Amino acid sequence: MTCVNPFRPLLGLVLATLTFVAGAQDGPQPKLQTVELTAGMHVIHTELAVTPAQQQVGMMFRRGMGGNDGMLFVNDDLGVRCFWMHNTLIPLSIAFLAEDGTIVNIADMAPRTDDSHCSAKPVRYALEVPQGWFAKRGLKPGLKLRGGPFSN
């Protein structure tokens, strides 16, 4: 007896659609809405990636980034968040942030790689900045960011 998965044709369609959508993006997305975050005395001019489409593109295809610029990925729910750099041209550091803005963990990410960089625990937020930004300022897990969604 052969068992056929009734969802197999649907899965193929979904994968084909995702491949088409991902392949259709061949340039950076327009600059997103920004907020200022602070890490101690340091200010980060941060774009907000809120929608699934904004988050999917993120920093891909951008050729540069200001020294104090960043992109904050904002999610509605807690989850282990993982990022990769497939079509990202510049090296980045990523901080995974707790609900109150506390840095949970930081990872450096090399451009044009498919290596996965994940949060150490479920989080709602992730902040990408130029690679080494946190290290150059001595900022480590446990530091709390302020501004934007962390104003309370």
Contact (Cβ atoms closer than 8 angstroms) between residue 145 and residue 99: no
* Overall domain count for the chain: 1
pLDDT at 34 over 60: yes
Asked if the structure places residue 11 within a domain, the reply is no
| Residue 66 belongs to domain spanning | 27-150
Q: Write the burial class of residue 123 (CB in 10 Å: 0-12 exposed, 13-18 middle, 19+ buried).
A: buried
Does residue 19 surpass a pLDDT of 50? no
In a domain, 20, yes or no: no
Q: In angstroms, rounded to a whole number, what is the distance separating the alpha carbons of residues 103 and 124?
A: 12
Q: DSSP letter for 102, please.
A: B
Predicted TM-score (pTM) above 0.85:
no
Q: Does residue 3 lie within any of the structural domains? A: no
User: 22 lies in a domain?
Assistant: no
pLDDT-derived band at 25 (thresholds 50, 70, 90) equals: low
Report the distance separating Cα 59 and Cα 5, nearest Å.
Answer: 37
**Residue 4 resides in a domain:** no
5 belongs to a structural domain: no
* N- to C-terminal Cα separation, the chain: 61
Of 11-20, 56-65, 68-77, 110-119, which range is least confident? 11-20
Tell me the per-residue pLDDT of 91-119, one tens digit each, with 9 for 90 and over.
999 999 999 999 999 999 999 999 999 99
Q: Is residue 66 part of a domain?
A: yes
Looking at residue 132, which CATH number applies to its domain? Answer: 2.60.120.1140
